[in-house]
Amino acid sequence: MNRRVMIFGAPLLLAGCSTTTGPSLAPMSYAPPAPTIDPVHAAIYAAQEGEPFPVPAIDLSRIVDPKFLRREVDYGTAETLGTVVVDPNERFAWYVLGNGRAVRYGVGVGRVEAFNFQGDATIAWKAKWPKWTPTPDMIARDPERYGPLRHGLPGGPGNPLGPRALYLHRDGRDTFYRLHGTVEPWTIGTKVSSGCIRLLNQDIIDLYDRVRDGSKAIVLPIRGETMA
């Protein structure tokens, strides 16, 4: 099961509101306050207008850790403007802005290390509301689940790629790995996918608008492994 964080925001409960004293009094119980939502992030992750299908607001209280929300950060790298760098160890992706800065996004990565793509790739093309088709490996691993979908699922609500996808190619060939949205925003920051790199829907829309076809993408190796 995917890891989720449940936030309990109930008001303070008092065991007693009288002047009665004595050892029989029950101890006071309480729940921790709900986290304060940054208004900047509340606006970033609001429902998206102008889409052919709904892109609802993200319930930020369900995000595993606020560090996985989008922000511009310092990022020292020799990579050029427009490069996308993914670190599956830290569960982050960076879009290089240049001058030591980048936009950082939280990501979900492959639940098994062997599923994760590693190395350099080219974002050969990108798509809005893409069709999703399970890979031959996915069908082989779980034919009962993926076999009926071998001809693909059209874009729209419920499609696991979400509203956008960036397609990674290497040496002119499709790697079958993508950066894409998700129907499970609470999984960002976890090992969850069949290998693709998932972002919050508002984040993949933002990244899609920044990235050009033919841009470089780098997926760093899992620590302790050799880059493919």
Do residues 59 and 42 lie in contact, with contact meaning Cβ atoms separated by under 8 Å? no
Q: Which two tokens stand for residue 128?
A: 């809005």
DSSP states along 140-185: HH-HHHHGGGTT-B-SSTT-TTTTEEEEEEETTEEEEEEEE--S-G
Q: Which of 221, 215, 227, 220 is nearest to 83 (CA)?
A: 215
Catalytic residue set: 180, 196
Q: Which of 97, 93, 102 is nearest to 197 (CA)?
A: 93
